[in-house]
Chain A
Amino acid sequence: MSAAPSPAAGTFDVGATPQDQARAILNILEDFAEDKGRLEKVQHAIFNILEDFSQERSRLQETQSAMLNLLDDFGAERAKAEAASLDLQESVKRLRAANDAAAASNRELEAFSYSVSHDLRAPLRHISGFSKMLMDEFGTTLPKNAQHYVERIDEGTRRMGQLVDDLLNLARVGRRDLSLQVTGLRTLVDEVIADLEPDIGDRKVEWKVADLPYADCDAALIKQVFQNLLANAVKFTRPRERAMIEIGQEQHEGSSAVYIRDNGVGFSMKYADKLFGVFQRLHRAEDFEGTGIGLASVQRIIQKHGGRIWAEAELDKGATFYFTIGTVELNALKAKSAIAGDKA
């Protein structure tokens, strides 16, 4: 051996003393022991990590199965949603069909009333025209009987014309959309009373008109209501020496109702349910003329406004008609101050 290997930690120096050698061996053993301890720690740490991994894995598995469940649920929900959507589509289809049918019948009704308007009036005009011409040109040469017959023809035509007009109006009220605006009811009443003057002639009619509310309503239609109710009051007070017609407002079950009261011939309350029916009349034609359509139109107008109409009467003691025009009335009262240029 030419050169001894240089001593290094943990190496065994053959040239050393037995004590040195023993110390070196001990050193090595000690190193081993330390290494083992470190290894054990590392192993422990690895075990921990592995354990964490396994925990993570089971958590992942749980999550995964939860997600799978969710997906299943989603699938079920989607199937349900699809079924529901089919149902919905079916409903929409049915609704559309019903709507089409309604539109078709509406069109039919419109075509019907249009043709009534055109075609039913023309022959009436001809009957009226030629009977008038007959009277104009030959009236003086006709015997009294013949003159009477021609008069009856003329009167019949006039009534038929009125019926056609009233029926058309009733149909029109039904299909018309309301055009709402805040309206002073007092103004409408004043206009209607002025329009009625020619019918009153030299009769004595005393009008008592109280302050009336403002209403968010279709002014043209509500004017029609007053036209009908006030004309009725004028008509049914005809036998009275002095007619009294009162228009005002009262509280009825929490809402304000407009009333029209007269001291006319009234009617028996046992027929009150017939009052607003089409073609229903509570008086004989020879006593009081009328088509029996007016109050039916009035009721339809009031109902279209979400309101209610009713009457109280006693035979020979006069009648009172009440109506509300729904909730609109209340807002309208507040709007009162906002209206300018309208008499209150």
Chain B
Amino acid sequence: MAEIFKAKVQEKVNRSIEAIRGMVGKVGRDNLLTSFASFPNKVFFETQNDAEQVILFLRQHPIVNLKWMLIAALMLVLPSVFIFFPPYALLPANYQFVVSMGWYMFVFGYTLAKFMGWFFNIYILTDERVVDVDFANIFFRKISTAKIDEIQDVNIQSSGALETFFGYGSVFIQTAAEVSQFEFLAVPNPDKVGKIINQLIDLEEQEKLEGRVK
């Protein structure tokens, strides 16, 4: 009896996911460095339920990395300038070699830390909730979630020349959950993200009315 009930629930869940798939479609690129992908393959998060489906996977637009990339490029060429100035110029060759290696190592570490800051700053929309993975630096990470039916308001903001030119912006989601506001900052296609969230809210309300609450 319990198995029949479980199978029926699963069938209803599958029907909901198919409905969402029909509404959202396949958008964005599905690769390791993607910043916008619907129904991505092989994306799972720690607290994901068995039947929960990732609808949208977001990161900040790649253009936000431009500043630290330029700084890293500048740092890479600095050792060729060091050589003309003391105290580096006065050091013996073996010391100069170690200092240069140390410097390149530092640049690599800086680049990796900045890259991690972008790579692990993830926003996920599932058919059940909103997940915000914050990764400010290597000593701080925070994962916040809110159920779709707790969403109260969705605001989209796109301002400035860069955001307009590259088509990215921020999506602010007010919720009745413990975390009152979710901020999807500098995400590509903010209008599309807002539309998908609203569609999910509508579907959740419809499911509630039909008594198909997961």
Are A and B physically bound partners? no
Interface residues, chain A, CB within 8 Å of chain B? none
